[in-house]
Amino acid sequence: MRVGKDLIWHQVSSRTWYNRYLLEFLICKELINPKTILSFGCSTGEECATLQQHFPDAKITGCDINPDVLRIAKQRYPEFEFLYSDNQSLNGNKFEAIFAMNVFHRNTKSCEGLPKYERAFFDNQIIYLQSLMCKMGYLILYASDFTDPPGCRLLRTYGKLAIYEISI
């Protein structure tokens, strides 16, 4: 398992592109109107730019575990805040919505060599993300290996997209 500073990588691929989730974000927009958004596993930042297009009034923050992609994201999109994905950097922040698109899975070729994705690890990560959320918040998962995150109420699915409501 690739671990950096005690952090575990959900997956190692950094594949992303602008407007990757055109339909999915339109569906999200019908249901939610968050003013603070975290793109968890933002890679080089294109997801933040796409989210801003769909949620023009929201403050968008990106975070990733890979310092190399974060460096590129900061250069390409200086208008957003980008944080390293550890407790220290993220704590104190509260978000109305957290998007984790193509992050919680190990079913692609790029994840060969990584051990099987453990349920307990996924649950712990979701509980951690909940600690970064406002009292009422939304968790949006795309292509997650698990589709029943603890403490979440399913609002809508569309293909690999799932939108959950969380009230703490």
C-alpha to C-alpha distance for 135 and 86, rounded to whole angstroms:
21
Neighbours of 107 (CB within 10 A): 10
Which of 7-15, 30-38, 75-83, 154-162 is the region at the interface with ligand SAM (rule: CB under 6 A)?
A: 7-15
- Name, in order, each residue with C-beta under 8 angstroms of 167's C-beta and a sequence gap of 6 or more: 135, 136, 137, 153
Beta bridge partners of 1: none
Q: Please, which residue, 143 or 166, has the CB nearer to ligand SAM?
A: 143
In DSSP notation, 104-128 reads S---SGGGTTSPPPPHHHHHHHHHH
Chain center to CA of 13: 14
Least Å distance, CB 28 to ligand SAM, is 14
C-alpha to C-alpha distance for 143 and 139, rounded to whole angstroms:
13
Question: 75 in helix, strand or coil?
Answer: helix
Q: Please, which residue, 59 or 160, has the CB nearer to ligand SAM?
A: 160
Neighbours of 128 (CB within 10 A): 11
| 93 is an interface residue for ligand SAM by CB under 6 A | no
Position among 24, 25, 38, 47 found at the interface with ligand SAM (CB under 6 A): 47
Q: What x-and-dash track marks residues 48-87 binding ligand SAM by CB under 6 A? A: ---------------xxxx--x---------------x--
| 103 is an interface residue for ligand SAM by CB under 6 A | yes
Position among 5, 15, 29, 153 found at the interface with ligand SAM (CB under 6 A): 15
Position among 28, 38, 97, 101 found at the interface with ligand SAM (CB under 6 A): 101
Q: Please, which residue, 66 or 130, has the CB nearer to ligand SAM?
A: 66
The residues of the shown chain that bind ligand SAM, judged by CB under 6 A, are 7, 9-11, 13-16, 20, 40-43, 47, 63-66, 69, 85, 101-103
